[in-house]
Amino acid sequence: MLSLYRRHRRHCKGGHSHDTRSSEYDERKKGWKRCECPIFISGTLKGNFKRENSGQWEWDLARGVAKSYEAADAWTDVPATDEPPQVPIEIRSLRVAVAEAIKIFLTNREGEAIKPTTVRKYKTFTKQLAAFTDARGYVFLDQITPADMDVFYSQMKLGIRAKAARLGTLRSFFRFAVNREWLTKTPVSSDLKPPVGANRLANKAPFTDSDLTRILDACDRMPDTNWKSGSGQGVWTGQDVKDFIWVMIYTGLRISDVGLFSMSRLHGNEVFLRAKKNGGEVFAYIPDWLCDRLKERAKRHGDRLFIVGKSDRLETVTDMWRRKINHVFALAGAFEESPTPHRFRHTFARILLERGVPMADVADLLGDDEKTVRQHYSRWVPERQARLTGILKQAFEDKPRPKLVTLGSR
């Protein structure tokens, strides 16, 4: 079996010392500077030990040369040289390292001005992909096979909807690579499917009014909890959680948005929700008593009133509040549907629709389109059921009816 090693030239593009050697294993290490110094082949064939310049700078191509020697079991008359190998231009342009592809992909996504939370999801995905390819010893994109992607996707420990979304990201990454001609085709096969049930509509179950009463009562029963960290110390109370829940109920904001809530959002009794794509801004109204609670909280915790401590990392803040709210759910007792903080957003929609607010206005407040709101929340529109009942009554009004039969008659 012949051995391969790279012998670095005097003017190595990677900055490696002249006449030093590196192996393929060395070059897989994080931070290694790539270069185009020649790869040499060494070993013994028919009792004759030699070192030969393969004439290649890429490991796959150099291995091909070594295999031809091994197949012939003899050295050919290839003169050793320290000149740079002549590599076809098309080969240089097509082979792209996984790390380089990931860097360009993330730069492209960040340039699209997408939400920071979406960028974080892309970074999480590419970090997992890089770890997977590194564990398999892959350096270049074209080393990844469809079987590799089957294994990579099957190993993801996510919920069915999150895993389905991750498959979309996986396809997007390799579609990006194909569009830039780094690959001739994607290694994500068309028969790689999302988990069963991923396409079913998510259950948009809001809390009932009685559920809300139990939850808020549980906040009052929640015991005070002392906390201490490198950023300070204090006491958590049920009123802290109640403030957080009230903001979710009255604004429909997600837990992440409330966690990073800033008092700059508050304009009188209106909370800024979002800017519409077609211009204009959307606000939610909150009552005076909730304004007062938020202002008192800001006096204690500052402008970003739901961040306690120095960390404003979204995942840290969101996870902390999720644990606090789940503790309140446990105190409130059993629920017909599993309680989650996101159900307060559904409750916001339910309250508005039951009060006769048009679908289009609810969609504006939620930041969704009207079709989505109608699809998920129409059961809580009383006018809808009344209209359907009227249609049915009218449709069957002239249809035959059974004769009334009195007791004792035949």
What is the SS3 assignment for the chain? Answer: CCEEEEECCCCCCCCCCCCCEECCCHHHCCCCCCCCCCEEEEEEECCEEEEEECCCCCHHHHHHHHHHHHHHCCCCCCCCCCCCCCCCHHHHHHCCEHHHHHHHHHHHHHHCCCCHHHHHHHHHHHHHHHHHHHHCCCCEHHHCCHHHHHHHHHCCCCCHHHHHHHHHHHHHHHHHHHHCCCCCCCCCCCCCCCCCCCCCCCCCCCCCHHHHHHHHHHHHHCCCEEEEECCEEEEECHHHHHHHHHHHHHHCCCHHHHHCCCHHHEECCEEEEEECCCCCEEEEECCHHHHHHHHHHHHHHCCCCCCCCCCCCHHHHHHHHHHHHHHHHHHHCCCCCCCCCCHHHHHHHHHHHHCCCCHHHHHHHHCCCHHHHHHHHHHHCHHHHHHHHHHHHHHCCCCCCCCCCCCCCC
209-388 belongs to CATH 3.40.50.620: no
98-179 and 209-388 have identical folds: no
Taking the model in full, what pTM does it have?
0.58
Spell out the per-residue pLDDT of the chain, length 410, in tens.
788 999 998 888 888 888 899 988 888 777 788 888 999 998 888 888 888 888 888 888 888 888 888 888 887 654 444 444 444 434 444 478 898 899 889 888 877 667 777 888 889 999 999 999 988 888 889 889 999 999 999 888 887 878 888 889 999 999 999 998 889 899 999 888 887 765 665 557 899 999 999 999 999 999 888 876 666 677 888 999 999 999 999 999 999 999 999 999 999 999 999 887 666 889 999 999 999 999 999 998 889 999 876 677 788 888 889 999 999 999 999 998 889 999 999 999 999 988 888 889 999 999 888 888 888 887 777 666 676 677 777 777 777 777 655 555 55
CATH, domain range 98-179: 1.10.150.130
| Structural domain boundaries in the chain | 3-87, 98-179, 209-388
